[in-house]
Structure 1
């Protein structure tokens, strides 16, 4: 594809916001099983299944991915959402080996953040073969012109078709930059309105919507059935709203997840994925356990 922008390097990304995912999906320059029905809710307004974005425990994953995932299962998570930590989304295993391991722990490997601009056909084929639901683009970076976001909308439709052809779906995970006004438009709105719902879904990072100054519920209601996945990440109320590095234990921050997740369900959200990137007075694994306990007790 012509006029392909340069792949955004890690150092650049950290310059625009702390603790952004390492598995970027920005494109390079030119020339360079059985599906599981998600349990979205149970009687009495509680979640019967929820997941963890493994980036929340990235250091532990780097040390020992299998043992970390075993612990996650023990905390009560029923789903996991992966990321590429440098060994691929299957952490050096074959796709079938990784799937067998997670199945043995009672975990559904529902999705993974990935660089969907590289090796897409291979990634989609391997993900679809083991019944994954999604490949997710986690980051494209701030753009200088709306034309850049318009090209991404076209890219997303193309990627979505490849994923659909392989039995899974494609989604884009937002950060705050897509909610920043650019040339009189909100890029997030453009992406939602100019991608094919048959090919492209969105993963709402609730934290980033709030940090950008928007109401997650209003977006869920304005664009029903487009945000099929949600990142459940809380915002520390003791620091400035716009501070990028401000996540905290779920339930101790400013976000009303009981209301937000209820509205999410009502408007087509099927997967609820815990994420935390900042840890004060605890460590990532302890936080993952506490967050699981919160999610198990959450009542809508």
Structure 2
């Protein structure tokens, strides 16, 4: 791979005071750039741009909630981002997906006016079958391909029981970014999760409900080293390259042993 980015969520820190440490860790590990999320965006964009320049990192995208992302366009412009992504949305059925697609088109049109492509990132829930079409496919069918792209999380795709390579080939041109992640086994489509339910404590740590904790425990069980799971990464990259994927972003949500840093170190060594 020519360039490898890391989703900053991978450092398991929701405290903005740890931003500098985490950016330096990303650079130390050898990543070329980053995908930003919540606590990173608490920084003034000019200060963040200076920090990225100092560490030699390029910001490729950011994640924000659907109700906040349009307001982040000036922030993204300051950083020179080409992509902005919605990391998750509550999509329990086909009607919700069609309604959300209207919103994606609206936000995507505004992003496009500023030279930015809006993307949507999947978990397993977007592979829920609704009468022969998956939620993610319904979003694709009802969104403007010139304004709305998709960030395929290959690990969650495989965990849902869907071959990410076949999915990319079936939807050529819609996949703009890829989260490269491993899955040790098929977990199946998990119940739709509402990101609005996420709460953060005073210590900056996310406070999960019992239901969320149970879902996380199920996800942890499928966590494994890069190359030891379900996905043929060479074939995945070939398929994604052929349809114009702009960037590959490593995301490590859980550890299989050691720390997140240890796992990311093994990840980048494998993907390089």
> Aligning the two structures, in what range does the TM-score lie when normalised by the shorter sequence?
0.7 to 0.9
TM-score by length of 2: 0.83
State whether residues 72 and 288 of structure 1, in contact with CA within 8 Å, keep that contact through their aligned partners in structure 2: no
State whether residues 248 and 276 of structure 1, in contact with CA within 8 Å, keep that contact through their aligned partners in structure 2: no
Q: Confirm or deny that 1:102 pairs with 2:52.
A: yes
State whether residues 8 and 36 of structure 2, in contact with CA within 8 Å, keep that contact through their aligned partners in structure 1: yes
Q: 1:196 to 1:167 in 2, by over 3 A?
A: same
Corresponding residue SS for 1:279 = coil
How far apart are 1:212 and its partner, in Å?
1.6
Report what 1:51 is aligned to. 5
Partners of 1:160 and 1:142 in 2: how far apart? 18
The 5 Å alignment of 1:1-300 reads 47-59=1-13, 64-85=18-39, 89-90=40-41, 92-118=42-68, 120-143=69-92, 145-237=93-185, 241-242=187-188, 243-245=218-220, 246-296=222-272
State whether residues 182 and 225 of structure 2, in contact with CA within 8 Å, keep that contact through their aligned partners in structure 1: yes
Q: Deviations over 1:222-262 (max 9, x none)?
A: 1112111001010124xx54353323221232321111111
How far apart are 1:156 and its partner, in Å?
0.5
State whether residues 171 and 200 of structure 1, in contact with CA within 8 Å, keep that contact through their aligned partners in structure 2: yes
Q: 1:172 to 1:183 in 2, by over 3 A?
A: same
How far apart are 1:61 and its partner, in Å?
5.8
Partners of 2:248 and 2:87 in 1: how far apart? 16
State whether residues 117 and 148 of structure 2, in contact with CA within 8 Å, keep that contact through their aligned partners in structure 1: yes
* Structure with more of its chain in helix, by fraction: 2
How far apart are 1:116 and its partner, in Å?
3.0
How far apart are 1:96 and its partner, in Å?
1.4
Partners of 1:53 and 1:275 in 2: how far apart? 5
How far apart are 1:166 and its partner, in Å?
2.3
How far apart are 1:267 and its partner, in Å?
1.4
Q: Say which is worse superposed, 179-188 or 134-143, in terms of deviation.
A: 179-188
Q: Deviations over 1:15-51 (max 9, x none)?
A: xxxxxxxxxxxxxxxxxxxxxxxxxxxxxxxx12111
Corresponding residue SS for 1:136 = strand
How far apart are 1:121 and its partner, in Å?
4.0
How far apart are 1:82 and its partner, in Å?
1.2
State whether residues 85 and 118 of structure 2, in contact with CA within 8 Å, keep that contact through their aligned partners in structure 1: yes
Q: Deviations over 1:177-226 (max 9, x none)?
A: 11111245322111112110110000000011111211111111111121
Corresponding residue SS for 2:219 = coil
RMSD: 1.8
Report what 1:19 is aligned to. none
Partners of 2:267 and 2:16 in 1: how far apart? 21
Unaligned runs of 5+ in 2: 189-217
